[in-house]
Amino acid sequence: MSVPHPAVEKAVATTLATEHGRFAMLGYRDRGGIDHVALVLGDPARASSRARPPLVRLHSECLTGDALGSWRCDCGEQLRAALRLIGAEGSGVLIYLRGHEGRGIGLMSKLRAYALQDEGLDTVDANLRLGLPTDKRDYAAAAAILHDLGVPRIRLLSGNPDKAAQLAELGIEVANRVSMPVAERPENAFYLQTKRLRMGHDAALTSLDVWEGLIDGEAPTGPMTEPGAVLLDRYGPLVRPGSLVIGQLAQSIDGFIASRTGDAAYVSGSEDREHLHRLRALVDAVVVGAATVRADDPQLTVRAVPGGSPARVILDPAATLPPELRVMDDGAAPTLWCIGPDAAAPEDVKPHVAVVRLPIRQTGSGWRSGFAPADVLAALAARGLTRVLVEGGGRVVSAFLSAGLLDRLYLTTAPMLIGDGVPGVRFSGRDRLADALRAPARRFILGSDVCTEFDLAALRHTD
């Protein structure tokens, strides 16, 4: 391993606001007179010394893919995916390496290689036919930029093991490589196959491979099938270490989770229910109110997807739940029965049920007297349950939202009008729309339903 003599000079520092965050934008010039750009988010130098170092993408310029949206390669989609992942993590570096067009052979040579590929040659043979190397790139400038940024240890956003090997020779430790949620297309399938078979890039991952990586707490390495790319894009932000509190609710387009009789079977469709099971598989505990348990008699387990079931946490201040309900009787998952300090609890609860007594408080949020959401989370954290899904009903999710304790909220709206019934999300609003709660959001189509993901933690980071 050799640490290079500084091979770049920092020329300018400014900022760049994007949909993924406000990046520090640093311009560098290398010894050959080529200009490169580093986009820096958060404090990657500090993260470099931690167990989970920052995400770093070394992106080789590609006019056709990055600027013109070509589907002959996956470069543009990798660029956008890398920015999205770094933005979701809140820290990282993207280095845009100029002089790397066509893996270093230049734009006109790349276009000549395209013409040979039109005749049936793969990308390797096309370069060789032109008397050019398969891959002319080196990463000395990128390594020098990382050293200048104080980031000697990284997680590399790449499916190319050669990048990691070159960085190691240049004094950058690659703790691991992380895949990006980019799917194969018919137009680039042969190109991607050539990279895997002839250039040593990672093999494609199935959707099951990706999901197993997610439930193990780490985004997997390698290119993906389209379903796998969707899974990593949708759920990848949830696998970061540390505590996490998610809210989830499905409601009609006019804001109700059940009819006036309490019938909630079903507001949303099967795709949304699968989404709910995926969320359950990614957390330690799922929290529901006693009213929801009485009305629906849910199992609160993971059945529609691979993964273990979380602990079930039932908020029942008056200890009113009958013992025949499934969460109290089936033993399918550990169950925490949260009751008030003076509530009378039977002594013959099933072995899988643990009684947890919590104080009764006035929440001040429009929610009637009951458990304060912060007390619930503290009790769970004391038991090592720090990744929490608040699943229902509307009053419980709204209480956690009003308390400012949700990191993300998944709100699915179904194309139906109930008119009146059991309300969904409700909390004390503001007098002016300008002061309404707004957070970075993404939307997913789940069959006929639309799921909106609100990144509420991002609001706290900008306060």
Asked whether residue 228 falls in the same domain as residue 81, the answer is yes
Contacts of 62 (CB under 8 A, 6+ apart): 70, 73, 75, 76, 100, 101, 102
Q: Are residues 338 and 203 located together in one domain of the fold?
A: no
User: Three-state SS for 30?
Assistant: strand
**Would you state the pLDDT for residue 5?**
46
Across-strand partners of 388?
245, 285
- Same domain flag for 329 and 374: yes
> Which candidate in 57, 103, 137, 273 is catalytic?
137
pLDDT score, position 14: 98
- Contact call for residues 258 and 422 (beta carbons, < 8 A): yes
Q: What's at 90, amino acid-wise?
A: G
Question: Per the domain annotation, does 337 fall within a domain?
Answer: yes
User: Which of 239, 263, 285 is where one domain is finished?
Assistant: 239
Look at strands 449-455 and 441-446 and give their pairing.
antiparallel
- In angstroms and rounded to an integer, the radius of gyration of the C-alpha atoms of the chain is 26
88 with 41: CB under 8 angstroms? no
Which of 239, 267, 301 delimits the end of a domain?
A: 239
Average pLDDT over residues 396-406: 94
| Number of residues in the chain | 463
pLDDT at 394: 92
Q: Is 137 a catalytic residue?
A: yes
Please state at what angle helix 140-149 crosses helix 161-169, rounded to 10 degrees: 60
CATH of the domain at 319: 3.40.430.10
403 domain-assigned: yes
> Residue 357: inside a domain, yes or no?
yes
> Residue 319's domain spans which residues?
244-462
135: annotated active-site residue: yes
**Confidence check: pLDDT of 223 > 70:** no
pLDDT digits (tens, 9 = 90+) for 128-186: 999 999 999 999 999 999 999 999 999 999 888 889 999 999 999 999 888 777 767 78
Whether residue 73 is found in the same domain as residue 219:
yes
Is residue 112 included in any domain, yes or no?
no
Same-domain pairing of 299 and 402? yes
Q: What is the pLDDT of residue 298?
A: 93
Pick the last residue of a domain from 239, 258, 288.
239
Rounded to two decimals, the pTM is 0.69
Is the model more confident about 205 or about 440? 440
12 assigned to some structural domain:
yes
Same domain, 62 and 165: yes
Q: What angle do CA 345, 347, 350 make, to 5 degrees?
A: 100
- Same structural domain for residues 225 and 285? no
Looking at the fold, whether 276 and 233 belong to one and the same domain comes out as no
Say what percent of the chain tops pLDDT 70: 94
DSSP string across 266-277: TSS-HHHHHHHH
Q: Which residue has the higher pLDDT, 263 or 400?
A: 400
Q: Which of 135, 233, 296, 449 is catalytic?
A: 135
- The C-alpha atoms of residue 122 and residue 116 are separated, in whole angstroms, by 8
For residue 296, pLDDT beyond 70? yes
Same domain, 261 and 206: no
> Any residues with CB less than 8 A from the CB of 287 and at least 6 apart, and which?
313, 315, 376, 388, 389, 390, 391, 396
At position 117, the amino acid (one-letter code) is: Q
pLDDT digits (tens, 9 = 90+) for 27-57: 999 999 999 999 999 999 998 888 889 999 9
178 closest CA partner among 277, 61, 84: 84
Distance CA 116, CA 120 (A): 7
Contact status, residue 183 vs residue 39, Cβ threshold 8 Å? no
The tens digit of pLDDT for each residue in 72-106 reads 998 998 999 899 889 878 899 999 999 999 999 99
CATH assignment at residue 200: 3.40.50.10990
The answer to whether residues 337 and 235 belong to one domain is: no
- Cis bond upstream, residue 393 (ω within 30): yes
Give the C-alpha distances (Å, rounded to integers) separating 319 from 247, 275, 358: 24, 30, 12
**6 Ramachandran zone, left/alpha/beta (phi>0; psi -120 to 50):** beta
In a domain, 47, yes or no: yes
